[in-house]
Amino acid sequence: MTYKLDFELSPQLEIYREQIEASIKPYLELKITDNGNPTLWQTKFGGYPYLPKNCEYPKSWDGKYLYLLAQINFGELPHLDDFPEQGILQFYIGDEGLYGCDFDNPRQQNNFRILYFPEVDLEEDNLITDFSFLPDKANLPIDGCSTVEWIERYAPMNIADYSYYTFSKDEMEMAEEISFFLEEQEEKGSELFADDGHKLGGYPFFVQDDPRLLKLSRKGKEQYNLLLQIDTDENDTISIMWGDSGIGNFFIKRSMLKKLDFSDVIYNWDCA
């Protein structure tokens, strides 16, 4: 699908409209609701997972239980390009100082895990319902459980995404103009250019730097795109706090996403 900006750009940017519009991606903005008691198969943050009885509960490399950070039931959501049309995707993280993240090897699923169930069994008798075996959580960025609502949005590449810095030398002027434009729109509160918050797909936000910029970006290599972003969010229903008001991100290659293969996912979080 081709997206268009339905408003005027500055004279300096208007000549780059085609490039800006070509970078636009659709995404789902995710918003926490006040439902703290979702079913096992609903889209949610926190809580207990959908897990058939024939499946082993995910553990870390050293045998410690992991905890559900987020669960996405694609059958409930509007379809996003390249994303599954159905099935349940789960994000588990470790209960330890770095929340299961290995900053030196962020693709290594030793202390975090991504699970995908292509078919969803709604017969509760076939699911694990007793999670009393899980130890009390001590050090997680999430406290509580909530379903989420979603809003369909789209946005062009923002200045936080590392591909913003891969313009050719002749395009550096465009990069600078886009930077000024996005900052101006952000100051005006434009939702089109909001890059923080919870989202599925689209472009990420970082408190510090994009981890893909130096470690994972290589010329000619396939880019890792945003899969899921969960931001710091404290309210009456649930508390999410990544370190000191940080943000968590998961990334995947488009080719892997289209194959529904979640074995190669980058997990990163940062804070002030």
> Tens place of pLDDT for every residue, the chain, 272 residues?
778 887 777 776 787 788 788 888 999 999 999 877 899 999 999 999 999 999 999 999 999 999 999 999 999 999 999 999 999 999 999 999 999 999 999 999 999 999 999 999 999 999 999 999 999 988 999 999 999 999 999 888 877 887 776 554 555 566 666 666 666 666 665 655 668 899 999 999 999 988 887 665 555 678 899 999 999 998 888 999 999 999 999 999 999 999 999 999 999 999 98
pLDDT reported for residue 49: 98
Count, residues in the chain: 272
pTM of this structure? 0.90
Note whether 111 and 96 are within 8 A (CB): yes
CATH of the domain spanning 11-270: 2.30.320.10
Using DSSP, state whether 257 is helix, strand or coil.
helix
Contacts of 269 (CB under 8 A, 6+ apart): 99, 101, 141, 242, 243, 246, 247, 248, 249
The answer to whether 230 and 45 have CB atoms below 8 angstroms apart is yes
From the CB of residue 263, how many other CB atoms can be counted at a distance below 10 Å? Answer: 11
- Tokens 């609903």 locate to 42
Q: Is 71 helix (H, G, I), strand (E, B) or coil?
A: strand
Domains of the chain: which residue ranges? 11-270
Cα separation of 175 and 17, whole Å? Answer: 12
Residue with tokens 């290599």: 221
